[in-house]
Amino acid sequence: MHIPKVLLVNDDPASLLALESLLAPHADGFGYELVKARSGNEALREVLRQDFAVILLDVDMSGMDGFETAAALRSHPRSAALPVIFVTTTDADEQHRLRAYEHGAADYLSAPLVPQVVHAKVGVFVELIRKHQQLQAQAEETRRVNAELRSQRLQDLERANRELELEVAERKQAEQRAHELSTKDALTGLVNRRSLIQHLEHAVASSDRRRSQFALLFLDLDEFKQINDGFGHDVGDELLRQVAARLSAAVRASDVVARLGGDEFVVLIEGKAPAENAARVARKIASAHARPFTIVEHRVHTSTSIGIAVYPHDGASARALMKSADLAMYRAKEERKQNIGNVGGNAGGNAGSNAGGKVDTQGGNIRFFHEEMNRREHEREQWTGELRHALAAGQLDLQYQPQVALASGQVRGVEAQLVWQHPRLGRIGAAAFLPVVQDRGLLERVDSWVMATVCAQAAAWRTGDSPLARARVALNLVAPALGPDLPARLLAEVRRHHLPAGAIVLEISESLLAAHNATVEPLLRQLQGGGVTLALDDFGHSGTSLAACKKLGLDILKIEPGFVRNIGDNAGGTDLVAAIVHLARALSMEVAAIGVDHAHQLAVLATLGCDDWQGALFSAPRTAQELAELLPEVLEPHTIRH
Ligand SMILES: Nc1nc2c(ncn2[C@@H]2O[C@H](COP(=O)(O)OP(=O)(O)OP(=O)(O)O)[C@@H](O)[C@H]2O)c(=O)[nH]1
């Protein structure tokens, strides 16, 4: 607390000293300080500098008198409330006294000054300021304490909040852990048996609601026990983990992969065509197992037996379906064992096979619970195996069907068609095996062979004096999609054989375009940039719009045989072909008709302004050898017979 101060103002030094002397003993005793000012202005300066409890102001000062000084003090906010005691040495009248009060006097003293009176009056104000200071100090303390309490409370709240958040997070983590423990397999992180049953029951309910199907794959590693025994349990564990990873990589994110325990796994496949998808996934899994696993310094070979059951055919409940899939897996395992027995009794198993003598089962055996599906799967496997063999054994060949210009009757080109000299079935076309063989890698290898053979043949015709020296050669692909590397593969063959632009035509099916419009466009541009002509095969077969043909910038449109067959019928078949020719013209595309077997069809096509045609009426597809033998007779300008 500050020591209270009392300001004495008088322009007469003697009076000022007298007043000071009068107050000094009291100031010492009462604990306040005296400050002197010798004019009104000096008093004003002092009150701006320091705080006073009271001011004793002489009224009769020369220059600025006491009243003027008081008025100035009142006008300043800092001193407006400062109590003023007027002091006068003259014997003031009542008028004078009133004037003083009008100027805001707190009190009035006139000569002769009685010390006790002056002490008492000054003491009141000093006491007042002391009380005021005390109150201020208390208020300050209260504010400080309040602020402290607030901040303390805030800190307490924040701490409590943090503790609460931590507890919530810990509880959540614990719940998550508990959930994982109850739903996940600890070794592999896959869905566990308990959770799989729930997934299955859910799948059953949703399948019943939608009247849809779903498939269950039951997998068991072959001779896993021997791996455990041969390499140790830790290697066995790591193998299970790696198998889990390969399984997860082989399926879509929406499929459920579970470990039942031991070396048993289950994959649940929902969505469209679950049986077909299951077979595909099973093959993918089997081939994923065909690659060895690297565990520490070991290269471990394994394979898996897979049983497939489809809901609701093969089981009316989750458990019944599991049983069927398990049974199918068991049969797959039995078959495998029999095969191994047949191959040479290498029942030494994987540990033995890891040492070198593994019986190649393509990574596993797959068996449907349902016999019909098994039959189909078996058929598919057989065709795939035979085609793989056919490619290696040179059983594949190409036949060429001439394409004739309608206006001139000249052979403009040939369309290469894949044929297979099948050892059992004789010569068969690609249509016989394409729907069955789904091994995309194999089909792409067949395409590579077709591209290389067609380009080599085209080059051979061009170098000799063959009537086909200027013919363009069209080829068809067997793979179900235009892979991103297809242009590079085909153009490499074109360049290898020094074929000029326009020598090779790639026939693209409507289905090939339909599925991949956005990704296909740049591939088509790349092919055209490399001099390959593009034809849309079998137009009208699956409803490609002409606008799409225009957008894709195709060069030739081949009208499918079904339309050609209907030429001349009474149901507007001719009009339909006329409309197609007309629209193709409008899009600046060449038009060719396929499957022209009768002269009347040819006559109509001629009147419609079709560019080329191809069909039995001119020639069936023939091998290059056969074509050469038939030359020149077949390749003479053709005469249209009406
Ligand atoms: N490393 C490891 N082994 C396990 C685990 N759980 C079970 N096993 C072993 O896995 C083996 C399962 O063997 P089976 O599937 O019955 O037999 P297999 O040797 O695979 O023979 P087949 O299935 O008939 O080809 C047993 O030897 C179990 O001891 C595990 O968590 N880790």
223 lines ligand 1 (CB under 6 A): yes
Based on the fold, state whether residues 93 and 220 are members of the same structural domain.
no
pLDDT tops 50 at residue 422: yes
350 and 448 both lie in a single domain: no
Q: What is the pLDDT of residue 347?
A: 37
Give the pLDDT confidence of 557-594 residue by residue, as tens digits.
999 898 898 898 877 789 889 988 988 888 889 999 99
pLDDT in tens, 23-56: 999 999 999 999 999 999 999 999 999 999 999 9
Phi, psi (deg, nearest 5) at residue 80? -60, -35
Domain for residue 420, yes or no?
Answer: yes
How would residue 357 be classed by pLDDT, with cut points 50, 70 and 90? Answer: very low
Q: Residues 426, 486: one domain?
A: yes
- Contact residues for 105 (Cβ-Cβ < 8 A; gap 6+): 70, 84, 85, 86
Same domain for 449 and 332: no
On whether residue 381 sits in a domain, the answer given is no
Helix (H) or strand (E) holding 220: strand 214-221
- Identity of the residue numbered 395: Q
Degrees to nearest 5, angle at CA 476 with 470 and 480? 160
Count how many domains the chain has: 3
Q: Report if residue 79 sits inside a domain.
A: yes
What CATH number does the domain containing 310 carry?
A: 3.30.70.270
Are 325 and 392 in the same domain? no
Contacts of 164-167 with C-beta under 8 Å, sequence gap 24+, read none
Report which ligand 1 atom has the smallest distance to the Cα of 233: 1
Q: How many residues does the chain have?
A: 642
pLDDT of 340-353, one tens digit each?
766 544 333 343 33
pLDDT value at 393 more than 60:
yes
Range of weakest confidence among 14-23, 67-76, 100-109:
100-109
H helix and E strand count, the chain: 21, 22
Q: What is the mean pLDDT of the chain?
A: 87
Q: Would you place residue 500 in the very low, low, confident or very high pLDDT band (cuts 50, 70, 90)?
A: very high
> Does residue 150 belong to any structural domain of this protein?
no
Is the CB–ligand 1 distance for residue 538 below 6 Å? no
Q: Is 234 in the pocket of ligand 1 (CB under 6 A)?
A: no
428 & 339 share domain:
no
Residues 35 and 128 in one domain: yes
Does 171 reside within a domain?
no
Mean pLDDT of all residues in 420-445:
87
Ligand 1: does its nearest atom lie under 6 Å from the Cβ of 262?
yes
Taking the CA of residue 221 as reference, the ligand 1 atom at the shortest distance is 20
How large is the C-alpha radius of gyration of the chain?
A: 53
* Residue 451 burial (C-beta neighbours within 10 Å; 0-12, 13-18, 19+): buried
Band (553; pLDDT cuts 50, 70, 90):
confident
C-alpha span between 428 and 430 (Å, rounded): 7
319 sits in which H/E element:
helix 318-344
Condensed to tens digits (0 to 9), the pLDDT of residues 52-93 reads: 999 999 998 988 899 999 999 999 988 998 999 999 877 667
Report, as an integer, the average pLDDT of 106-124.
91
> Across residues 236-253, what is the average pLDDT?
94
Considering the domain boundaries, does residue 579 fall inside one?
no
> pLDDT by residue (tens digit) across 631-641?
666 555 444 33
Pairing of strands 396-405, 364-368: unpaired
- ipTM for the complex shown: 0.91
User: Among 253-257, 265-269, 348-352, 394-398, whose mean pLDDT is lowest?
Assistant: 348-352
Residue 355 reports pLDDT greater than 50 = no
Name the token pair of 125: 């104000």
**Which of 2-16, 175-189, 402-416 has the weakest average pLDDT?**
175-189
Q: How far apart, in whole angstroms, are the C-alpha atoms of residue 395 and residue 389?
A: 8
| 331: containing domain | 193-369
* CA 310 to centroid of ligand 1, rounded, Å: 26
Q: How far apart are CA 430 and CA 396, in angstroms?
A: 10
pTM for the model? 0.52
